[in-house]
Structure 1
Amino acid sequence: MSFAFGVFDMAANFGELRDVDIRVVGGEPNSTLRGGGMNVPVPYDLAAIRDADLVIVPNWRSPVERPPEPVLDAMRAAHSRGARLAGLCSGAFVLAATGLLDGRPATTHWGMASAMSDMYPTIRVDSGALYIDDGDVLTAGGGASGMDLGLHLIRTMCGADVANRLAKSMVLPPHRPGGQAQYIESPMPELHDEDPVTESMAWALTKLDANLPVDELAKRAHMSRRNYDRRFREITGSAPATWLTHQRVIRSQQLLESTTLPVDQIAKYCGFSSAAALRPHFRRLVGVTPQAYRETFGMAETVS
């Protein structure tokens, strides 16, 4: 079951969607819902979406497997009739296979974004967005971003008051914009002590509050700047300065979540001269301001 469906189901339970008929549809014969040790038959087949106003594809078993043609035909027919289509996480690959995302912006779980770009090069894949509403087609990243899209859909269908009451009942933030970044940390390479570059990276992580010129890191690794940059890119896929900035932003995220320190002080602990210096990097990499991030993920009592 998808997080977005859970939002609609809870909305129905709270009496907020009295006129909405929610149906769980199987795209193949004898489909079942599996999870938590249970195996439950799906009550409806593809005929159930012929008169649907909204069709949500919560997932698909394999991004590299083409969905059955009857599923794709039913999705195209629903779209041509005016239904909105939403694909969540791997479910976005079903929308992609219909061709309805060609030339349009879309997102999926960040771990599958490169596969989508390779398989469907005409789609403008944004791996960082929580969800993208392109009018008649919508896509979302993984996990909780499905809830964000579900609340967004309820907001567009029923208004902000209903969405906000539902979010409060579910103990969720009332609104996270789709353009907000998926909250992921950059994967850290495995750091081997015998590699001078990775040793310098491990050392740099203990000195993020200090000025760290890349020349100093190269010197610590006993390498020329040119060789250091080349080896660094081999390990991380990015330039040393880019990696350092990203690690500083990640550290600031951690401090915003776990402390009540003022943002200006957090910025200095992470190697930025001030909150103003941190803000553009944080917004570019995370998608929101440090204060907005703290309001969503921080401790209950904070110091601005």
Structure 2
Amino acid sequence: VQINIDNISILEQFGNIYPDTPVCVRINPHVMAGGNRKISVGHIDSKFGISVHQVPHIMRVVKNTGMHINGIHMHTGSDILDIDVFISATEILFNTATEFKDLDFIDFGSGFKVPYKEGDISTNIEELGKKLTKRFNSFCKDYGKELTLMFEPGKFLVSESGVFLANVNVVKQTTSTVFASVDSGFNHLVRPMMYDSYHHIHNISNPKGRERYYSVVGYICETDTFGSNRRISEIKEGDTLCFNNAGAYCFSMASNYNSRYKPAEVLLYNGKDYLIRKQETFDDLLKNQVIVDLE
């Protein structure tokens, strides 16, 4: 297990107790990158990482404890649009890496953007790869050692591989909009409410129907709106709606809020479907509760 430390006090404690165990340190490059501030984590006000300006403090800890730093790491944010901003952050990390004389790897994190709707842009991986490969090879030559280049492209790999299905319980006409209320809520898919994230919604029960405007909402006791004023093929009660880009940060962020069950997961492979996670039951909600006799 590679240990990654992003706090100087923890680095000091670890170095005093386990000086012979190699660790990686997370650097905050003070770069604003990401789709919005909620998912930007490499700026000066972020809680993550040790400030690039505190590197001399890191070096004092290393000297005093004799500990071994074998890697440096950063993660600037999610949904990176401008690769030049990302490249500027990598340049800061390359410059920081020269302070450490025995690195094995540099981890640039991820945050590569995937398209969420028609016409949306994504991170230009090919262009980024060409620019970064050239710079990394040059750095390794100057450093005098071939290092391992690491990324963490989780969402980029799996976001588009998953969809979320929900059934429509109620179609409600009001004076201002038409609500399509589904048998789900932010307990299953919280990203639209937490990050204002867009997930394309389409009616797979009536894919070629006449399009109308709907606000798709959930069953939670607070306003859990998946999408407002969306053009969707005409929806009837009982229809199934499909939410795209549910392969990342969806089930992993699910909860039992309002005593709701987490959904089943189904894998589609070579034209066959496999149940890989069962839907929860009421017993699952209670299984970790401990009954206390309050006499």
TM-score, normalising length: structure 2: 0.34
Structure having the higher strand fraction is 2
Structure number with greater Rg is: 2
Structure having the higher helix fraction is 1
